[in-house]
Amino acid sequence: MIAECYISIDEAVQKRSDLRKRNKTLALTNGCFDLLHAGHVHSLKEAAKYADHLWVALNSDESIKILKGKLRPIITQKERAYMLSALSCVDEIVLFSTPNLKYEILKLKPDYYIKSADYSLNSINKEEKHALKEVGAEIKFVSMLAGKSTTDVISKITQSINPPSS
């Protein structure tokens, strides 16, 4: 049986307070992490370099259905959190179901907010950007591994099941 490997926002706020008391920095990133792959791991390892602790805000199953359609997620939130928690670069996982992280940013007040290089200052959600400015968080972008995305993985699986006719 897989244990729940994520904490509530209330637990996260308390842990964040403890980090501050110990003068430890916090980097926050987020994502679906449906079909965890090398590209995810690369970005998370890069994100962890910015702070003493890296926390992942993980999209809930419900929020992924809204974002990606009724056939997703492929992997449940409990299983995705379990896999992420096994990575040495990830310190905590906070589940969220809202359309963006404005609330979590305002509550956790991260030192850094990390996004993959497929985002830019112009493409980050405006509410998140405003919340980040309000709490004084620095936005950083990390490199990606070319050709390593969930869409690429799904495409390869689909092609292996239904190969194109010659």
Q: What was the pLDDT predicted at 55? A: 98
Find where tokens 């112009």 sit.
Answer: 122
Smallest Cα–Cα separation from 16: which of 77, 104, 103, 85?
104
Q: What was the pLDDT predicted at 147? A: 67
24-58 per-position pLDDT tens digit: 999 999 999 998 999 999 999 999 999 999 999 99
pTM of the predicted model as reported, rounded to 2 decimal places: 0.90
Mind listing the domains of the chain with CATH numbers? 9-161 (3.40.50.620)
Under the banding of pLDDT at 50, 70 and 90, the label for residue 1 is confident
Is the predicted pLDDT of residue 107 greater than 90, yes or no? yes
Contact of 122 with 139, CB cutoff 8 Å: no
Q: What was the pLDDT predicted at 63? A: 94
115-134 per-position pLDDT tens digit: 999 899 999 999 999 999 99
Identify the residue with better confidence: 144 or 112.
112
Q: What was the pLDDT predicted at 166? A: 63
Q: What was the pLDDT predicted at 145? A: 76
d(CA 44, CA 60): 19
d(CA 48, CA 5): 19
